[in-house]
Amino acid sequence: MTDKSIVILSLMVFHSSFINGKTCRRKLVEEWHPQPSSHVVNWTLTANICLDFYRDCWFLGVNTKIDTSGNQVVPQICPLQIQLGDILVISSEPSLQFPEINLMNVSETSFIGCVQNTTTEDQLLFGCRLKGMHTVNSKWLSVGTHYFITVMASGPSPCSLGLRLNVTVKQQFCQESLSSEFCSGHGKCLSEAWSKTYSCHCQPPFSGKYCQELDACSFKPCKNDGSCINKRGNWDEQGYECVCHPPFTGKNCSEIIGQCQPHVCFHGNCSNITSNSFICECDEQFSGKKCIYIHTYTQITLILSMYFKLNVKYFLYF
């Protein structure tokens, strides 16, 4: 038996004690961090292999609503989700450094089946065998989900034991421009575990892709069960329209149809007669339903008054 076979056999025996897998504990919601972060993944079978992709690998609660009908038991290193621009480092343990192993970028199907394509050496992540710590080139960390498996120059691969990793790289859509504030300063740039991107989660009363719109209806301006129609605008603009139910009316549905309202009688006092009628008691010089007409004699008096004032003024200046 060769040394390589002994090492692989030892790994398989060692792995049998961890076959139940572990639960990968992580946040289900992450906030975007402005500066790149470094992530170190320990390429080992001793502590970070999970089995159930939807439960153990993501630590989903029992109430999490997601379709798990197509779930498969795929032993793997705890899945990783990172931001575009983050740094990924693979750290191998000494027991894996003897065989000539490397990491290969493969399709999802090859990832599940641990299928190594021996004709695509350009898909190898590193130019030498995995030993110690290696930084993954950024070309393997573009936006999307990437699948990496362990491959060997010869002999069986420990990929099926769980030495494989899927990495999802996300970008953010929380800025209108590179110089603008995240979510216009009115929300947080977040991503849930199953989301492909980071997006704005706005604080009330703001809404919109970048939280740039003010939701005026959130203030509930329409009284008496009126319906509010939001006329969305920028955060520094406010606009809404109330649809009122009879007998209410007015901008905020706070007025009653046929009842006295402020300034309904322009030059007089308003008195309610019934629940839907009123009368204006006009001042002496005015008349009309809403006291808007001036009496004829009053008009003549005003005209004469203005005439004499003008003549006096003309006389004084003359």
- Indicate if the pLDDT at residue 10 is higher than 50: no
The kind and range of the H/E element at 302 are helix 296-317
pLDDT value, residue 64: 47
pLDDT value, residue 238: 56
- Indicate if the pLDDT at residue 23 is higher than 80: no
Give me the residue label for tokens 């060769």.
Answer: 2
What is the widest separation between alpha-carbon atoms in the chain? 132
Say if residues 283 and 267 touch (Cβ distance below 8 Å).
Answer: yes
- Indicate if the pLDDT at residue 11 is higher than 60: no
244: CB partners within 8 A, 6+ apart: 222, 224, 226, 250, 253
> How far apart, in whole angstroms, are the C-alpha atoms of residue 157 and residue 130?
13
Give the torsion through C-alpha atoms of 21, 22, 28, 32, to 10 deg: -100
> How far apart, in whole angstroms, are the C-alpha atoms of residue 175 and residue 145?
23
Closest listed residue to residue 160, CA positions, set 15, 313, 280:
15
Pairing state of beta strands 240-243 and 248-249?
A: unpaired
Q: What is the mean pLDDT of residues 103-115?
A: 91
Q: What is the mean pLDDT of residues 35-64?
A: 76
> What does the DSSP 8-state code read for residue 172?
B
Q: What is the mean pLDDT of the chain?
A: 78
Q: What is the mean pLDDT of residues 191-203?
A: 93
The model's pLDDT over 223-261, given as tens digits with 9 standing for 90+, comes to 999 999 887 655 445 578 899 988 888 888 988 777 777
> How far apart, in whole angstroms, are the C-alpha atoms of residue 317 and residue 135?
96
Q: What is the mean pLDDT of residues 121-135?
A: 84
Q: What is the mean pLDDT of residues 43-54?
A: 78
pTM of the full structure:
0.65
Q: What is the mean pLDDT of residues 85-102?
A: 80
Find the range with the poorest average confidence among 11-20, 52-61, 201-210: 11-20
pLDDT value, residue 49: 87
pLDDT value, residue 70: 53
Q: How confident is the model at residue 211 (pLDDT cuts 50, 70, 90)?
A: very high
Task: Catalogue all structural domains in the chain, each as residue range(s) with its CATH number.
Answer: 3-170 (2.60.40.420), 174-211 (2.10.25), 213-257 (2.10.25.10), 268-317 (no CATH)
- Indicate if the pLDDT at residue 50 is higher than 60: yes
Q: How confident is the model at residue 5 (pLDDT cuts 50, 70, 90)?
A: very low
Work out the number of other CB atoms within 10 angstroms of the CB of residue 154: 10
**Highest-scoring range by mean pLDDT, 35-39, 55-59, 128-132:** 35-39
Residue 40 or residue 1, greater confidence: 40
DSSP 3-state of 228: strand
Find the range with the poorest average confidence among 13-22, 48-57, 233-242, 284-293: 13-22
Question: Interior CA angle at 158 toward 148 and 147, to 5°?
Answer: 10
- Indicate if the pLDDT at residue 180 is higher than 90: yes
DSSP labels, 252-284: TS-EETTS--TTSSTTEEEEEEETTEEEEEE-T
pLDDT value, residue 275: 63
Q: For residue 280, give both structure tokens.
A: 């204006």
pLDDT value, residue 45: 81
Percentage above 90 pLDDT, the chain: 30
pLDDT value, residue 241: 87
30: CB partners within 8 A, 6+ apart: 81, 190, 191
Residue 27 or residue 200, greater confidence: 200
Say if residues 202 and 188 touch (Cβ distance below 8 Å).
Answer: no
